[in-house]
Amino acid sequence: MGIIEERKKRTEWFMDARFGMFIHWGLYAIPGRDAWVRSDEEMSLEDYEQYFEEWNPVNYDPKKWAKAAKNAGMKYAVLTTKHHEGFCLFDSQYTDYKSTNTKFGRDIVREYVDAFRAEGLKVGFYYSLLDWHHPDYPAYGDMYHPDRNNEKYKDKKRDFNKYLDYLHNQVRELLTNYGKIDILWFDFSYKGHFAEDWRGTELVRMVRELQPDISMNARLEGSGESYGSIMTDDPKVTAGDFTCPEMIIPMKGLRTPSGTEVPWEACFTMNNCWGYTPMDIHKKTASQIVRKLVECTSKNGNMILNVSPTAKGDIPKWQLNILEEVGEWMHENSESIYGCRMSEFEKPEWGRYTQKGNKLYAHVLDECVGAIALPGVKGRVKKARRLCDGSEMLLMTPWVAKEFPGYEFVNYGKPDYCSFSIESTPDNVIELTLEDK
């Protein structure tokens, strides 16, 4: 079986799930100025050490997190086991810079895995390829290291192979000590650090040996701005199983030059920051999130939505409220998301189509005046029902639409030109049952 065929098999469940939770959590929750605070402010390791000494998230309860994810309609989660700062949320034998060595004294990853599995959710690990704490990771002159401009480190000798041994050993721990893991989310490659610079082929072979069914992202080769060889018809071993556009949705579904579909997952924050940042008030609404989830699904993609727990271990209340609202919509309409994909029909101007077999889901995102014209389905629709409650929609051409014989029309009731307002829902979904071609 070739790389593309293996990839398709490994990502089958993933591309059916469509919706997941990202969890960015680490020492950076204490300063509360996003996950990149140490790099952005070129903060010394000595100054950052205070957060390690202080770390004690007494309210950490992953069971609550897991319930929030499940109730929102999410099917999987990915936790930052180690972000760029180098602090490990697991009990690694290769470092003292870990949660079990803090006042808190607990293996956060262990509890996360147990809690999310108990809710029936798939479990994923994020692991940063960068490490601003390790003594052998390049510092002076690096693009992102907090000490990139610190003359004190200009002539300091570093053995990058020692760091790579550390990286590989920690990945082995994560994929050995916590049972079956469903997703491995590396972050990220950049100039001078691509694929084989990480001893990538060796790393991937170890991953496949330890967890043959795991879905791995494409950032051993790429980053948020480039996807790597996964977008070609001859992907490398290091290409990964899915690519992950960041804070953007591709214009169309992603394909290789020959037309082979490429699995993808768009990752989004709820405000503008990945880590806990209380002063960032640019909050997305539940309606925005639902609409973007629908857009991803309609283009054969997933969406993973980030939460950013506080230093005490709580998912912020405003984020929980949004998840609850999204969950209310998903409770009634998730059949138009799970297992769905790009439709065989053109995008309608009033919204989007998603499709699963002979079920075509019309996501009406605009308010309607009169009947809704359904492009591309003339003569194919057997019946129409509102997905949220199963109520009948009328399939009839209103007298005012006689001049448009190429369209099927669906009506919310009589009179057959009645209007529909979407003030009460971000997306009204109509389930259309299709005749075979």
Mean pLDDT in residue range 272-294: 97
Mean pLDDT of the chain: 96
Record the tokens describing residue 214, joined without a space. Answer: 């795991």
Is 427's pLDDT higher than 90?
no
Is 343's pLDDT higher than 90?
yes
Q: Give CA–CA dist 102/30, Å, rounded.
A: 14
Could you give the 3-state DSSP secondary structure of residue 364? Answer: strand
Write down the architecture of domain 3-339 according to CATH: Alpha-Beta Barrel (3.20)
Instruction: Give the homologous superfamily in CATH for domain 343-434.
Output: Golgi alpha-mannosidase II (2.60.40.1180)
DSSP string for residues in 219-231? TTT--SS--GGGG
343-434 has the same fold as 3-339: no
Per residue in 355-375, pLDDT (tens digit) is 999 999 999 998 887 889 999
Q: Give CA–CA dist 410/431, Å, rounded.
A: 11
Q: Which one has a higher pLDDT value, 437 or 89?
A: 89
Q: 19: pLDDT confidence band, cut at 50, 70 and 90?
A: very high
Segments making up each domain of the chain, as ranges: 3-339, 343-434
Q: 70: pLDDT confidence band, cut at 50, 70 and 90?
A: very high
pLDDT on residue 415: 72
Closest CA to 353 of 410, 268, 424: 410
Is 65's pLDDT higher than 70?
yes
Per residue in 218-263, pLDDT (tens digit) is 999 999 889 999 999 999 999 999 999 999 999 999 999 999 999 9
Q: What is the percent of the chain where pLDDT is above 70?
A: 98
Q: 426: pLDDT confidence band, cut at 50, 70 and 90?
A: confident
Q: 398: pLDDT confidence band, cut at 50, 70 and 90?
A: confident
Q: What secondary structure letter does DSSP report for 138?
A: -
Place of tokens 């000595």: 46
pLDDT on residue 307: 98
Per residue in 92-106, pLDDT (tens digit) is 999 999 999 999 999
pTM: 0.97
Q: Give CA–CA dist 326/18, Å, rounded.
A: 14
Q: 424: pLDDT confidence band, cut at 50, 70 and 90?
A: low
Cα-flanking dihedrals φ and ψ of residue 123, to 5°?
Answer: -115, 130
Q: 436: pLDDT confidence band, cut at 50, 70 and 90?
A: confident
Burial of 379 (0-12, 13-18, 19+ CB in 10 A): exposed
Per residue in 172-198, pLDDT (tens digit) is 999 999 999 999 999 999 999 999 999
